[in-house]
Amino acid sequence: MNFAASNRGEPGYHPADLGTLKLCERGTPMNRFPWKICKPLACAVLCVALASCAKRVPDPATTDKETVVAKGDFVKLYVPQEAQAVAKRASARAPILYPGDEISIGIYDKLPVSQEKHIEMKRIGDDGSIFILPAKEIFVGGLTVSQTEKTIESKLSQYVVSPFCEVTIVKRAFEPKVYVFGEVGKSGSVLIKDGDRLLDGISAAGGCASSAYRRSIKLIRANEQNVSMISIDLYAILDGGRIDKNIALQDDDIIFVPRRIYTTFNEVMTVIAQLLPWYYYVKIFTP
């Protein structure tokens, strides 16, 4: 027997439905309740609730908190041994040669030095080398002037009897630059000019790659006492109008565009320490 049909005189009701019927208007059976309207409304309320919950969860990578490391600790932890050796030579007040420097090389074919000499003007390449025939490529970056003279003489002695060399620095090449690493078009150093800011530096390196985590761009800067790192959310600049986050760049700043969240200074430096050229460390840490 159909319990609902025999007692209510209306077909199709089961005792389990009686509690649900109380939610409907009197005389409105379940098959006429407006579920098509209620279901979308319930979904909308649920989405709003979830969105409000999501807003309460902070993104730990977008903090502007600054990390500061003393220069002495930085040198011990991250500066390569070869860069420390060059820095010691430079700290002895003997001028060293950097990539981009222009030098004059006076070469005597043999001793005594009264013999006629010829002079060559050379620009030191980005890898620290010069090209002199017949010795071809000679690496002089990071050497003092006297060390460069001895190195050239040693190389030429394989082809010339008792060569003698005089080296003079003609022009220094300390053009302001920053270093951009990580998820960009082309990692390395880029030249900057007065007024350039964070977005200019990233743009000069080819812009952010699609794999970049833009909410946590790292800017590392050294001063006389320490090295500091700050995290910057690019979306705060581009979408949020926070132009104050588009920090003005300084010579030898480091910009790191990560693929994922990096929360500590050590994590970042573990990635980029070996990418920095030796002359960055020498310029930053030579008294």
pLDDT per residue over 57-71, tens digit each?
A: 334 344 456 899 988
**Are β-strands 217-222 and 254-257 bridged in parallel, bridged antiparallel, or unpaired?**
antiparallel
For the chain, domain boundaries: 3-45, 61-86+175-285, 99-171
Q: What percent of the chain has pLDDT over 70?
A: 71
pLDDT score recorded for residue 118: 79
- Amino acid identity of residue 51, one-letter, is A
Q: Where are the alpha helices (DSSP H) in 56-144?
A: 71-78, 81-91
pLDDT score recorded for residue 182: 95
CATH number of the domain located at residue range(s) 61-86+175-285 in this protein: 3.10.560.10
- Tell the CATH superfamily of the 99-171 domain: wza like domain (3.30.1950.10)
pLDDT score recorded for residue 25: 43
Task: Please tell me the distance from the alpha carbon of residue 95 to that of residue 168, in angstroms, as a whole number.
Answer: 11
pLDDT score recorded for residue 232: 95
> What's the pLDDT band for 15 if we cut at 50, 70, 90?
very low
Predicted TM-score (pTM) of the model is 0.65
The chain-wide mean pLDDT, for the chain, equals: 78
Inform me whether the pLDDT recorded for 53 exceeds 70: no
- Residue 132: φ, ψ to 5°: -130, 125
Task: Please tell me the distance from the alpha carbon of residue 48 to that of residue 51, in angstroms, as a whole number.
Answer: 5
- Model confidence pLDDT, tens digit, residues 88-122: 766 556 678 888 899 999 887 665 555 667 788 99
| Residue carrying structure tokens 């790191």 | 256
